[in-house]
Amino acid sequence: MDKGIKKHIEYELKNYIKTRDKFISVLEDEDSKFNHLISCNRLSYMDRIIKAIERNLEALDHKQLRFIELYYWKKKYNIQFIAQYLDCGVKTLYNWKNKLLEDIAEDMGWIE
C-alpha cells in the first residue's frame, strides 16, 4: 500500500472518535445544518470514512479491538507495551494494524 494512503488512514483512525462525534453533533444541531450543507462534500467524506472504519472494527475480535483502542485512541502506550499487555507478539500487532489499514483503504476504494 502506498505510504501516503497508509498515513492518511492512520490519521483518520486516530481521529475516528472525534470525527464521529463531530459528525453526529452536526446532524443533531438544527442551527448548524444550513451552515454545514455548504460543506456537503466534507460531510459526505466524513460519513464514508466513519462507516468504513466501523465496518472494519466490527470484524475484529476483542483482542484486536483492544489493540486499536490502546494504540490509536489512548495514544500513551507503545507497541511493545501493548504486545506484552495483550500477550501477543509485536509482529502480530503490526500484522493486525496493516490488515486493518488495508481493509479500510479497500472499503474507501483507494486500493484494490
Q: Determine which helix (DSSP H) or strand (DSSP E) holds 18, and give its type and residue range.
A: helix 16-28
Q: How does the average pLDDT of the chain come out, rounded?
A: 89
Query: Looking at residue 27, what is its pLDDT?
Result: 73
* Average confidence (pLDDT) over 79-98: 96
Query: Looking at residue 16, what is its pLDDT?
Result: 95
Q: How does pLDDT run across 35-65, given as a tens digit for each residue?
A: 656 567 777 888 899 999 999 999 999 999 9
- Distance between CA 106 and CA 44 in Å, rounded? 18
CB 32 within 8 A of CB 72: no
pTM score, two decimals? 0.84
- Distance between CA 23 and CA 33 in Å, rounded? 11
User: Which grid cell sits at 29?
Assistant: 444541531
What percentage of residues in the chain have a pLDDT greater than 70?
A: 90
Could you tell me which residues come within 8 angstroms of residue 26 by beta carbon, excluding any fewer than 6 positions away?
Answer: 32, 33, 36, 43
Query: Domains of the chain: which residue ranges?
Result: 3-108
Could you tell me which residues come within 8 angstroms of residue 88 by beta carbon, excluding any fewer than 6 positions away?
Answer: 63, 67
* Average confidence (pLDDT) over 26-42: 66
Count the Cβ atoms, other than its own, within 10 Å of residue 97: 19
User: Which grid cell sits at 61?
Assistant: 475480535
